[in-house]
Chains A and B, each alone.
Chain A
């Protein structure tokens, strides 16, 4: 079995605010194998963005606090990493695409500067100028790696280039600068930008939302991350642009070797992109399994209601099925199963005992991921009509 790129084990994240403690993420476990796309769906406020930002430790701490659990990225638990050491993990290991293309690029800098900064950071880490994150099962090295400077002997033994030393230095500087520029252009082409040369010198406000999101994707990819977290990358865009960016994402998923955690509130989007799907409700992962299987045989009542409430052209049942009640307040969660006040199958045991976290329901022969659900009566959930 291959080592997963990321495995989240029993992660719980709270917000400690003046008004109380909000359990944004409770006891979530999840595994992302190399090269696989894992989708997470859930309503607004179910904690999926918190989960996304907790993995690279991007949450402001305080008020956020990782109460318990592990985030094992390439063999290293990120939870105990001190804040000062986090940049090396983020720089080379994990990339992230944000929801709001309006705000995700810095309005004060040109596009070139922003992407080149990311590429430059990667170069410096690759060259050992900056401390870098070691992939693999070896324990995470907190110490700063020594800067590898060429020895005098190395320098002297290099072939002498024509021209004076000053010319050589100048030539080298120009070369690295054009290299950097070429690399930035490569990434812009990667995200299907037609005229990357002109884009380079523009400011973010001069670009459309879809364009900005493409650049955001290019920027995230330019660090060559092993894990790419896409936090609702298409939600804030117009429908037509959404489709374009989604197509791009799908194409890139095939081209790029990174594992992807794809967060969305849109089941349709996730169905198109993800291999595995997790469903979140009130801070909990209530169901996890291969996408196709969950869509065919949802084993959690919430997933089932969610699927039923997707409007389709074919169904003509009116009024549109909705889930009664509303998402519980994360500071005053119901006892037992968090979904029980809205669940049509709820029985007395559901109001008292929390369901087992992700019970394995069945494993389709040949599938890499098994199907889990957090429900007392998972087997009894009726199939979709």
Chain B
């Protein structure tokens, strides 16, 4: 039994590796997104771990530029200061880079916590949805609550929460978290409901597999894929939303020890004529845009492959329904692991 299991794992890894390459080959944009995300993650790790390696100046540190021309601050972009300097002669290149790990951590962290919290609630609401049982009652409550939360545009509800409980980075993060989880409840519940009635789950249940085991082995695995893809796409959205909240003035104060893109832009936009000092906001803006776009490109491309709707259509349009079964559709070939799973399950019981 053991050797087959390990070869199974090996072949599964090999297969997903292959699927990954097919996806990347199928759409150059997804590949571009993947490359960009990798670069951004590596850069963020470097900034966080060995800042001296790539950041030329500490964010609040004087740049030394005034030694050349003591009266002239606000240097336009040059070789020494690729993004220019601001009114206090802070090197914007350093500031934008130093903000990267924080903004990225906020994006990944908020989306991640929302994923876990919303995901668990969504699983509950999707799996124990029999009306008339305690589980059914719980799932109704969960769903009605998400209905209410989803009626608010998340940015606006977050702003209201910040206004109510007070400003600051933690308030902003908490506010976004409160508004973010319902999307994951909906997504996970939908996927759970879709998987729950598939023939192989019914078969497993008929074979006497315990409910919790069905949940963890069959449903969780199938739900995970679309959720992770949505999560990838979501990181960019969280980033953009958080920066908007900071822009409106509820984030981390700037100028200060901790640079953050949204608050930087808020400060410069409010205090300086941008036609003249265009580099003040251009580079933080590009930083947000590129980071969000990288995750969106990757997530959207993956979602296209995993979305049952587009997946079927893409496969059909590129391999035609008339072809024999052996003809593999364009990209990911799903479901096979589950069939193996079935066989394993049968062996065990």
Cα(A208)–Cα(B328), bound, Å: 34
Q: Which of A59, A64, A331 meets B327, CB within 8 Å? A: A331
Q: Contact check, B22 vs A18: say whether CB atoms are below 8 A apart.
A: yes
Q: Which of A17, A62, A64, A330 has the most CB atoms of chain B within a 10 A radius of its CB?
A: A17
Chain B residues whose CB sits within 8 angstroms of the CB of A22 once the complex forms = 319, 323, 327
Give residues of chain B (29-73) contacting chain A, Cβ–Cβ below 8 Å: none
Q: Which of A29-37, A44-52, A373-381 is near enough to bind chain B?
A: A44-52
Q: Which of B25, B320, B321, B324 meets A18, CB within 8 Å? A: B25
Known: A24-B320, A60-B317, A64-B320. A18 touches B330 (CB 8 A): yes
Q: Contact check, A63 vs B322: say whether CB atoms are below 8 A apart.
A: no
A108 at the interface (CB under 8 A from B): no
Chain A residues whose CB sits within 8 angstroms of the CB of B331 once the complex forms = 18
Cα(A15)–Cα(B330), bound, Å: 12
Q: Contact check, A45 vs B325: say whether CB atoms are below 8 A apart.
A: yes
A329 at the interface (CB under 8 A from B): yes
Cα(A311)–Cα(B323), bound, Å: 26
Residue of B nearest to A331 (CB): B327
B26 at the interface (CB under 8 A from A): yes
A193 at the interface (CB under 8 A from B): no
Known: A18-B330, A19-B327. A45 touches B22 (CB 8 A): no
Q: Which of B317, B319, B323, B330 has the most CB atoms of chain A within a 10 A radius of its CB?
A: B323
Residue of B nearest to A63 (CB): B318
Chain A residues whose CB sits within 8 angstroms of the CB of B324 once the complex forms = 44-45, 327, 329-330
Q: Contact check, B323 vs A45: say whether CB atoms are below 8 A apart.
A: yes
Q: Which of B22, B26, B321, B322 has the most CB atoms of chain A within a 10 A radius of its CB?
A: B322
Cα(A327)–Cα(B325), bound, Å: 10
Chain A residues whose CB sits within 8 angstroms of the CB of B326 once the complex forms = 329
Give min CB distance, A243 to chain B, whole Å.
Answer: 26
Known: A18-B22, A18-B25, A18-B26. A60 touches B320 (CB 8 A): yes
Cα(A63)–Cα(B317), bound, Å: 7
Cα(A49)–Cα(B327), bound, Å: 16
Cα(A45)–Cα(B326), bound, Å: 10
Give residues of chain A (320-373) contacting chain B, Cβ–Cβ below 8 Å: 327, 329-331
Chain A residues whose CB sits within 8 angstroms of the CB of B330 once the complex forms = 17-19
Cα(A59)–Cα(B321), bound, Å: 11
Chain B residues whose CB sits within 8 angstroms of the CB of A330 once the complex forms = 323-324, 327
Known: A60-B317, A63-B317, A63-B318. A19 touches B328 (CB 8 A): yes
Q: Contact check, A24 vs B22: say whether CB atoms are below 8 A apart.
A: no
Chain B residues whose CB sits within 8 angstroms of the CB of A44 once the complex forms = 324
Known: A17-B330, A329-B326, A330-B327. A59 touches B22 (CB 8 A): no
Known: A22-B327, A331-B327. A17 touches B319 (CB 8 A): yes
Cα(A331)–Cα(B330), bound, Å: 14
Chain B residues whose CB sits within 8 angstroms of the CB of A64 once the complex forms = 320
Chain A residues whose CB sits within 8 angstroms of the CB of B317 once the complex forms = 60, 63
Give min CB distance, B321 to chain A, whole Å.
Answer: 8
Give min CB distance, A31 to chain B, whole Å.
Answer: 23
Residue of A nearest to B319 (CB): A17
Give min CB distance, B164 to chain A, whole Å.
Answer: 47
Cα(A22)–Cα(B318), bound, Å: 11
Give min CB distance, A39 to chain B, whole Å.
Answer: 18
Give residues of chain B (286-329) contacting chain A, Cβ–Cβ below 8 Å: 317-328
Q: Which of A18, A48, A50, A329 has the most CB atoms of chain B within a 10 A radius of its CB?
A: A18
Q: Contact check, A50 vs B25: say whether CB atoms are below 8 A apart.
A: no
Chain B residues whose CB sits within 8 angstroms of the CB of A62 once the complex forms = 318
Per-residue contact bits, chain A 54-89, to B (CB 8 Å; 1 contact, 0 not) = 000001101110000000000000000000000000
Give min CB distance, B171 to chain A, whole Å.
Answer: 49
Give residues of chain A (1-55) contacting chain B, Cβ–Cβ below 8 Å: 15, 17-19, 22, 24, 44-45, 47-50, 53
Cα(A62)–Cα(B25), bound, Å: 17
Cα(A15)–Cα(B325), bound, Å: 14
Chain A residues whose CB sits within 8 angstroms of the CB of B325 once the complex forms = 45
Cα(A59)–Cα(B317), bound, Å: 9
Cα(A64)–Cα(B326), bound, Å: 17
Q: Contact check, B323 vs A24: say whether CB atoms are below 8 A apart.
A: yes
Chain B residues whose CB sits within 8 angstroms of the CB of A47 once the complex forms = 322
Chain B residues whose CB sits within 8 angstroms of the CB of A45 once the complex forms = 322-325
Give min CB distance, B30 to chain A, whole Å.
Answer: 14
Chain B residues whose CB sits within 8 angstroms of the CB of A53 once the complex forms = 322
Q: Contact check, A15 vs B22: say whether CB atoms are below 8 A apart.
A: no
Known: A18-B26, A60-B317. A49 touches B322 (CB 8 A): yes
Give min CB distance, A138 to chain B, whole Å.
Answer: 33
Cα(A18)–Cα(B324), bound, Å: 16
Give min CB distance, B333 to chain A, whole Å.
Answer: 10
Cα(A22)–Cα(B321), bound, Å: 13
Chain B residues whose CB sits within 8 angstroms of the CB of A327 once the complex forms = 324
Known: A60-B317, A63-B317. A24 touches B322 (CB 8 A): yes
29 residue pairs of the A-B complex, CB under 8 angstroms, read A15-B319, A17-B318, A17-B327, A17-B330, A18-B25, A18-B26, A18-B331, A19-B327, A19-B328, A19-B330, A22-B319, A22-B323, A22-B327, A24-B322, A24-B323, A45-B322, A45-B323, A49-B321, A49-B322, A50-B320, A53-B322, A59-B320, A62-B318, A63-B317, A63-B319, A329-B327, A330-B323, A330-B327, A331-B327
Chain A residues near B (Cβ < 8 Å): 15, 17-19, 22, 24, 44-45, 47-50, 53, 59-60, 62-64, 327, 329-331
Since A17-B330, A18-B330, A48-B322 are in contact, a sample of 10 more A-B pairs with Cβ atoms closer than 8 Å, ordered by chain A residue number, is A17-B319, A18-B25, A18-B26, A19-B328, A49-B321, A50-B320, A63-B318, A329-B327, A330-B323, A330-B327
Q: Which 6 A-B pairs have the closest CB atoms?
A: A45-B324, A49-B322, A63-B318, A329-B326, A50-B322, A19-B328
